[in-house]
Amino acid sequence: MNCKNNKLLAVFFDMDGVLYDSMKNHAISWEKAMALYSINYPPYYSYINEGRTGRNTINWAFNEKFNRDAMDNEIKNIYTAKTTFMQQLPKPEIMQGMQKFIQSLKNNNIKIGVVTGSNQKSLIDRIVIDFSINRNSIISGGDVKKGKPDPEPYLTALKRFNLKSENVIIIENAPLGIKSAKSANAFTIAVNTGVLENKVLKESGADLVYNSCTEMITNWPIICNQFK
């Protein structure tokens, strides 16, 4: 993955649907957890709400169904159930090619950050091992007040790395994550690993959209040369 580029100092990755093929598990778990409160939450809802914190996701569903926010105990019950259902499912696979890709970026002295709305400890712990990433380089749901689509998660990452947005590329897969990244003024690549159409990702503001992680990786030298 040869790309010498003095402007590019870091790449920030979203976790679900970018580093791990985990969105199917989230969709199944949310559907089952919401059903405890008789809320119909088909997989499509998981994809359009992807990136929200657990609390915001549950409030979104409550507003759709009951026209009100959820109470704290309802949020706790649903999120606990969702986490339990997730843990019962097979461990999600690492996205094809991403381990090698991240290693090659590191070899070019490009810093790696992970920015996720998730607080799913089991997955966050895996990142450290699977991608040899320092825990301090991961911004998770607990590190921010406002989750995606607010820019706060990515602004928090920029601050932690002491970098400007013009020196960073962000890789996302979901509309709200793309909006968060673009609101932080960063060049944003979308990899379409879910069920939404490419145009949804483009309309959310992605600078480039690829059909898979491997397609993005194949095109990386071109992306890198364009990023000037």
**Binding positions for Ca ion, rule: CB under 5 A:** 14, 16-17, 50, 173-174
Shortest approach of Ca ion to residue 174 CB, angstroms? 4
Q: Which residue is listed with tokens 């919401």? A: 34
C-beta neighbour count of 65 within 10 angstroms = 15
Shortest approach of Ca ion to residue 22 CB, angstroms? 8
Run of H or E including 168: strand 168-172
> Which is nearer to Ca ion, 17 or 54 (by Cβ)?
17
The answer to whether 167 and 184 have CB atoms below 8 angstroms apart is no
Shortest approach of Ca ion to residue 68 CB, angstroms? 27
> Which is nearer to Ca ion, 117 or 165 (by Cβ)?
117
From 139, 19, 22, select the one nearest 92 (Cα to Cα). Answer: 22
Q: Rounded to an integer, what distance in angstroms lies between the CA atom of residue 96 and that of residue 212?
A: 9
The answer to whether 51 and 117 have CB atoms below 8 angstroms apart is yes
Shortest approach of Ca ion to residue 23 CB, angstroms? 7
The answer to whether 22 and 94 have CB atoms below 8 angstroms apart is no
Q: Is 45 helix (H, G, I), strand (E, B) or coil?
A: helix
> Which is nearer to Ca ion, 16 or 150 (by Cβ)?
16
> Which is nearer to Ca ion, 72 or 190 (by Cβ)?
190
β-strand partners of 170: 12, 188
> Which is nearer to Ca ion, 69 or 130 (by Cβ)?
130
Shortest approach of Ca ion to residue 145 CB, angstroms? 20
The answer to whether 167 and 150 have CB atoms below 8 angstroms apart is no
Shortest approach of Ca ion to residue 36 CB, angstroms? 24
Which residue's Cβ has the minimum distance to Ca ion? Answer: 17
> Which is nearer to Ca ion, 125 or 166 (by Cβ)?
125
Shortest approach of Ca ion to residue 24 CB, angstroms? 12
> Which is nearer to Ca ion, 31 or 172 (by Cβ)?
172
DSSP 64-81: HHHSSPPPHHHHHHHHHH
**Helix 54-66 vs helix 72-88: angle between axes, to the nearest 10 degrees?**
120
